[in-house]
Amino acid sequence: MKTCPRANLVPLWPSLRGVLPPNVPTRKTAPTHWPYASLKPLLLQAGELTPIEKAERRVLVLANPGHGLEKMQASAAMYLGMQLLLPGEWAPSHRHTPNAVRMIVEGEGAYTTVNGEKCPMARGDLILTPTGLWHEHGHDGTEPVVWLDVLDLPLVYYMEASYHINGARQDVKPGRGDRAWSRAGVVPTPIFTRSHKTYPLLRYPWVDTRAALVGLAEDQPELECLQVTYVNPETGDDAENILGFYALMLRPGQTLRLPARSPACVFHQIEGSTDVVVGNTGESATPFTLVEADTCCAPGYTAATLTNRSASAPAFVFMADESPLHRKLGVYEVRG
């Protein structure tokens, strides 16, 4: 039976197993590695050729070939981009429906202002720009600043809900969430009501996250997986509602196997160097070596093995995945 264009009908049975394959979903996301050493010169060249006034956001998209480069996505729900801001530049204020975070790769002196809160940028910091919040970027320093953007843009675009609105330069308001929520176990006392902010913490300084991982390693030497989750400090929920964000520490020489889970995952090296093997050991496995500022991704339903290449120093990895979305949809699973 053929399709019936006049009635807008199509038979299901010829395509049933295509959309409902046995045991494991069909995945377009391919294991992919984006070395920073190859990317940075192109980004700096873009800075020379394209003024910020013309580009608005000067970004090179880390596109997954499995989805097609024109789709500009790293996985089914994640977009990745390396963004450059040069000294003296200002990326104008706007807001949009996709959620975004910034993982700072290198440089000092830049900042993001989110709904009036000025968030300074330093390597390894995570800064949120959640859905609907005004944000802009400025740079008062002397060297280029680069960060990794992670957005749920592919999902929001697929839902036909993606748009942006331009705005005026923001006035900076007093107060910063990373000062109010700087110590675990000691938090502001809600005398009358909880914070009116949906996102009370917008900047997660790397110095604090790193210290938490090191402290965890010292306190629990038997613990195999040294991982922390970026959360909303008021609710304990994931920092944003679609994508999840984590930091992982590998002890010197440690090998850690992460089980196959339904969401795709992104790995970004903050400190040290890590061997990443996507898939089970064998002909189907894909190996990558991450050095500082490198990024790679693994498709869902696929195990990943991480090995710290140093025998004397820890390695630190930032991770992003689609777990919050999968849990909300009821499709999250671990295959072991």
**What tokens appear for 136 in the block?**
């802009």
The confidence score (pLDDT) of residue 191 equals: 65
Whether the CB-CB separation of 104 and 82 falls below 8 Å is answered with no
Residue-level pLDDT at 282 = 65
Report the half-sphere exposure of 199 (CA within 13 A, side-chain side): 23
Distance (Å) of CA 102 to CA 34, 45, 129, 142, 147: 17, 21, 8, 20, 6
Q: How far apart are CA 38 and CA 29, in angstroms?
A: 21
Q: Is 230 exposed, middle or buried (0-12, 13-18, 19+ CB in 10 A)?
A: buried
Distance CA(280)–CA(202), nearest Å, equals 37
pLDDT digits (tens, 9 = 90+) for 194-209: 557 889 999 999 999 9
Q: Which residues pair with 227 in a beta bridge?
A: 248
Q: Which residues pair with 12 in a beta bridge?
A: none
AA letter at 157: Y
Sequence letter at residue 113: T
Edge-to-edge strand ranges of the sheet holding 59-61? 59-61, 79-85, 145-151, 100-106, 126-129, 203-204
29-181+202-329 maps to CATH 2.60.120.10: yes
State the pLDDT at residue 183. Answer: 85
| Residue 280 confidence (pLDDT) | 80
What's the burial of 152, exposed, middle or buried (CB within 10 Å: 0-12/13-18/19+)? Answer: buried
- Smallest CA-to-CA distance from 117 within 170, 167, 173 is with 173
CB 230 within 8 A of CB 239: yes
pLDDT in the model for residue 184: 83
Is the pTM higher than 0.85? The answer reads yes
Q: Compute the distance between CA of residue 323 and CA of residue 254 in angstroms, rounded to an integer.
A: 25
Burial label, 212 (beta-carbon count in 10 A; 0-12, 13-18, 19+): middle
At 95, list the tokens. Answer: 């807001």
Q: Return the H-helix or E-strand segment holding 139.
A: strand 135-139
Phi, psi at 156, each rounded to 5°: -65, -40
Residue-wise pLDDT tens for the chain (336 aa)? 566 778 889 989 999 999 999 999 999 999 999 999 999 999 999 999 999 999 999 999 999 999 999 999 999 999 999 999 999 999 999 999 999 999 999 999 999 999 999 999 999 999 999 999 999 999 999 999 999 999 999 999 999 999 999 999 999 999 999 998 988 888 888 765 555 788 999 999 999 999 999 999 999 999 999 999 999 999 999 999 999 999 999 999 999 999 999 999 999 999 999 999 999 866 689 999 999 999 999 999 999 999 999 999 999 999 999 999 999 999 999 997
Q: SS3 of 83, please? A: strand
